[in-house]
Structure 1
């Protein structure tokens, strides 16, 4: 190894250590389960049998430095690990603080509704946000380790009927 390589490696290690030192104080508990990633929010938006998921997260300072140097593609295995119960997943976009994932065949059609059964996640999320189609509303749940079992309508026409039934039952 030549002197130039040693200097570059020393510089990178120094930069990582300095970044960890001057980073704001962090609660090490928040990284305990995911080792280097903490899931802040999972937003799940249904459309037919499919769902689009937006994941908001933050990384430990060391992981940020690693991703900065080697790219966000290194987060993909963790995303696959988190959504391990969804066999048909495709990562659309991934960055330093968020990812967009397309899930197919996550719900079954039942009459004029779709049913999504709860599925275990590979990590806890501070918040899970469900966005129902046709302006059916939004549901937020805190500190979750699985998706929710939900029904949602298959068209705007049945969305109105679904709204009326829901209002009458309350």
Structure 2
């Protein structure tokens, strides 16, 4: 009986591990749904907070084995950026640091549009002066500029 349980758990683990490495390009049929992404600009860098829902099987998997297996999927959302580092991963949120998200031009910072690896229900851009901009159903970040105040 004990061997059968170990075998079943091993098979479920293997199947889920394979599905966790896939891309989250489409929300349809995926184990993760991105509700919100908040990009807080700071000079040429930014902190990105991702808020997501996991399906039941994924929640159990994360509860049992930890959330570090979500890291490839979270990094894939920001695949179009050069320097992405996962700072924190939780059950329903993650924080990532992105270096060189914008470039400085005189007294302004320019952010070019970048594709996202998944559709995000709401993308919120938070500028250094405290103002913000919301983009519904985002598949890319918009072109924008901001001052460093």
* TM-score grouping bracket, smaller chain normalisation: 0.7 to 0.9
On the 8 A contact 1:50/1:104 being kept in 2, the answer is yes
CA distance in 2, matches of 1:11, 1:117: 45
1:69 is paired with a residue of what secondary structure? helix
Among 107, 120, 128, which residue is 2:123 paired with?
A: 128
Query: What is the RMSD of the two structures over their aligned residues, measured on CA atoms?
Result: 2.0
Among 129, 144, 150, which residue is 2:138 paired with?
A: 144
Unpaired segments of 5 or more residues in structure 2?
12-25
CA distance in 2, matches of 1:109, 1:128: 22
Quote the residue 2:95 is aligned against. 100
Among 45, 48, 57, which residue is 2:43 paired with?
A: 48
On the 8 A contact 1:31/1:60 being kept in 2, the answer is no
On the 8 A contact 2:39/2:126 being kept in 1, the answer is yes
Unpaired segments of 5 or more residues in structure 1?
14-29, 157-170
On the 8 A contact 1:49/1:105 being kept in 2, the answer is yes
CA distance in 2, matches of 1:123, 1:10: 31
Q: CA deviation at 1:149?
A: 1.1
2:118 is paired with a residue of what secondary structure? strand
Tell which structure's C-alpha radius of gyration is larger: 1
TM-score, normalised via structure 2 length: 0.83
- Compared with structure 1, are the counterparts of its residues 114 and 31 closer, same or farther at alpha carbon in structure 2 (3 Å cutoff)? closer
Which structure's residues are more often strand, by fraction? Answer: 2
CA distance in 1, matches of 2:73, 2:136: 21
Q: CA deviation at 1:32?
A: 1.2
- Compared with structure 1, are the counterparts of its residues 89 and 11 closer, same or farther at alpha carbon in structure 2 (3 Å cutoff)? closer
Aligned residues: 135
Quote the residue 2:52 is aligned against. 57
Q: CA deviation at 1:31?
A: 4.2
TM-score, normalised via structure 1 length: 0.73
